Amino acid sequence: MRKVLLLITLIGSLTAQAQELPCKAKYPETERCKERYREDADGRPHGKYIQYNSNGQVIQIGNFVHGKKEGNWKEYVEFMGLGYQYLWYINGRILATSWDGPITSLSHAQRLRKEKEAKEAEEERLKGLEKEKQARIEQQRNRETAAEKIRQEAESKKSREKQIISDWENGNRLWRSYDFISFLEEFPNSYYAKEAKSKRDESLIWEKALSSRSSEGIDEYLKKYPKGYFSSQANEYKSKWLFERARALDENLNCMSLPTNEKAIQLYKEYLREYPNGQHVAEAKNRVLLWDISSKSITSVSGIKARLAYYKANKENLCNGVDYEIAKLESMHALAVAKADPSILKNLIIPGWGNVSANKANNKIEGGLDDGYYFHAPVVATIAIVGTIGTGVYFNKEANKNYDIYLDSDDPTNWDWHYNKAKSQRNTAYILYGVGATLWTLDMVNIMSKKAGIRKQLNVYKNEQRKITTNLGIDDKSLGLKFVLNIN
């Protein structure tokens, strides 16, 4: 009851005071007073000050001293319904605050201030401790993270080491000296270090051999590592370089040319001996074979035949000019055969027989007619000559029969007929003998003419041969018709 009376008295006092203070500002909507205070000579709030909300509730009450808050103030805090807060101002600055009740005096405010500062200091201390704790936790976490990172890097390094070694052992990684050098720098204590050093040394010798591009460098590697990692490649390079040396010395590598350098042939033979399954075996064999064939005389039947057989057997491996050379060699072969053939003697034995080989040779030179024609022509000549002479022999035999009848007949009336008949048949036989002999003679003359043409044509080929071989500086007996292999 007493508290109620006190509250009523306070409200009445405030109301009386409010009525004494002039209203300085109003809410335009309700015309209710917003602020009540008095002003000093400069127009600044001075003395009691009251502020209302739009509902008329007091939200601030206190004292101003020439425009600055001073002493105990009561302010309403609407945020989250916190209610009234009590503050103590000195010269417009807050000295202390309280939610528990009014601050009654300066000493009370100072005590509250000290309590607040002590509380804030404790809070700062606790925050500092928490911060230190969090720092220690973060430091520990960082140490653990760093340790984990080191562990993962170590595992990754070990895994990489194993992978590199596995790739080398399984052939998935090339052997290069700088790779082994890098490996040894990164993994100096690896269990694989000893083998890596060995492979590094082998790779360095191999790379040196490659850079030298010489058989000596390859031989040095093979001598030290006969079954080394690069031994197969070493043999391939050595065979390649050996063959290249041979080709560099082989001067006549134009179409349809023969080898003329004996040193090149020796290198070709060395290549075939050391690398029987090498990449260039076929080419080396051809060059060696051509060297052997070039020693055969072009003017002999056997030499021409050997060259011709080689051309035909290796036609697919020779250049485009081989067809022309085959045709020329076939002509030369036919001429050589015809020249060596005893045509005249054959014709003396059987008329026309000697013309067969000569006609074949002329066919190769002149062309346009097949061998059959030149075989049939001598047969026709033989039939004509033998037929003519044979018919003469027949008429001569018939004449002898009629003459014998004439001599043996006792009937004079038949003497003249048989005599004249025998005489006519004898004359016919002589005529046929003459015609046959003439044909035989003409056939012999024809053979002699063809033999002269064969000798002349062979001399032409021989002169061509001599000019070519002279320009090449090779033996006059070597083949003048040049050819070469198609070299890829």
CATH number at residue 66: 2.20.110
- Residue 93 within any structural domain of the chain: yes
Residue 33 near residue 11, CB atoms below 8 Å: no
pLDDT at residue 234 in the model: 83
With beta carbons less than 8 A apart as the criterion, state whether 173 and 167 touch. Answer: yes
Please give the distance of CA 214 from its chain centroid, rounded to a whole number. 25
d(CA 351, CA 384): 9
Is 290 domain-assigned?
no
- Is 431 inside a domain boundary? yes
Q: Which of 59, 86, 104 delimits the end of a domain?
A: 104
Give which of 405, 468, 399, 454 is closest to 432, Cα–Cα: 399
Residue 270: both structure tokens together: 């060395």
In a domain, 86, yes or no: yes
φ and ψ at residue 470, rounded to 5 degrees: -65, -45
Residue 303 lies in a domain: no
User: What's the order of all strands across the beta sheet hosting 33-39?
Assistant: 23-26, 33-39, 45-52, 58-65, 68-77, 83-90, 93-98
CB 347 within 8 A of CB 381: no
Task: Please list, residue by residue across 333-368, b when 16 or more beta carbons sit within 10 angstroms of its beta carbon and e when fewer do.
Answer: bbbbbbbebebeebbeeebbbbbbbbbbbbbbeeee
Q: What pLDDT is attached to residue 169?
A: 72
Of 37, 71, 104, the residue that ends a domain is 104
Q: Which domain holds residue 350?
A: 334-472
pLDDT of residue 286: 76
**Whole-number pLDDT of residue 479:** 37
Total count of domains within the chain: 2
In this prediction the pTM is: 0.36
Whether 114 is covered by a domain: the verdict is no
And the tokens for 187? Answer: 């993994």
Q: How far is the C-alpha of 374 from the C-alpha of 361, rounded, in Å?
A: 10
What pLDDT is recorded for position 49?
A: 93
pLDDT of residue 473: 39
Task: Give residue-wise pLDDT tens across range 98-130.
Answer: 877 787 777 777 777 777 787 888 888 888 889
360 in a domain, yes or no? yes
Of 104, 126, 144, the one marking the end of a domain is 104
| List of the chain residues with pLDDT < 50 | 3-4, 6-7, 367-371, 468-488
Across-strand partners of 48?
Answer: 63
Closest CA to 377 of 392, 393, 363: 363
The pLDDT of residue 468: 43
Q: Assess if residue 51 is contained within a domain.
A: yes
In the structure encoding, which two tokens stand for residue 109, read together?
Answer: 């405010």
